[in-house]
Amino acid sequence: MLHERRERDWVERTGWWSSVNRVPLTYEKARAYGLPATEGKRCDPRWPPFARYGFDIEHPLQQEVEALEPNELQRLVLAAVDPYIDRDVLAQQIARMSIALCLRPGGDFIDGVRDQYG
């Protein structure tokens, strides 16, 4: 399928990922959030695989995850990736970024040194 080829190409080009795990918007979640539904295309080859997440395969529909409130969408994505985060590596990267931001002109560290030592 086209989306699988695109995903595989993206993984190969970036070299960042060893695998990709999808985070489905299940029927239960869509109902709980009250997301609007529109009629889906019966001929869409992507429908049968998605229907296994609790949808009626005979009545295709689509609900856009983008209809979620941005903060809730962010919460769901972060919860899905949380088990894969290496906290030590994350802390090191945050420290590196903080140092880089502080050492550039206009950064807090440089401004503080300039204020203190003129």
User: What is the per-residue pLDDT across 22-77, written as a single tens digit (0 to 9) for each?
Assistant: 777 777 888 898 888 777 777 887 777 777 767 777 877 777 777 888 888 888 88
pLDDT of residue 113: 45
Enumerate helices (H) and strands (E) in the chain, giving the number of each: 6, 2
Question: What is the mean pLDDT of the segment spanning 77-106?
Answer: 79
pLDDT above 70: residue 2: no
How would you class 72 by CB atoms within 10 Å of its CB: exposed for 0-12, middle for 13-18, buried for 19 or more?
exposed
Structure tokens at 46: 């992507």
Structure tokens at 36: 């609007």
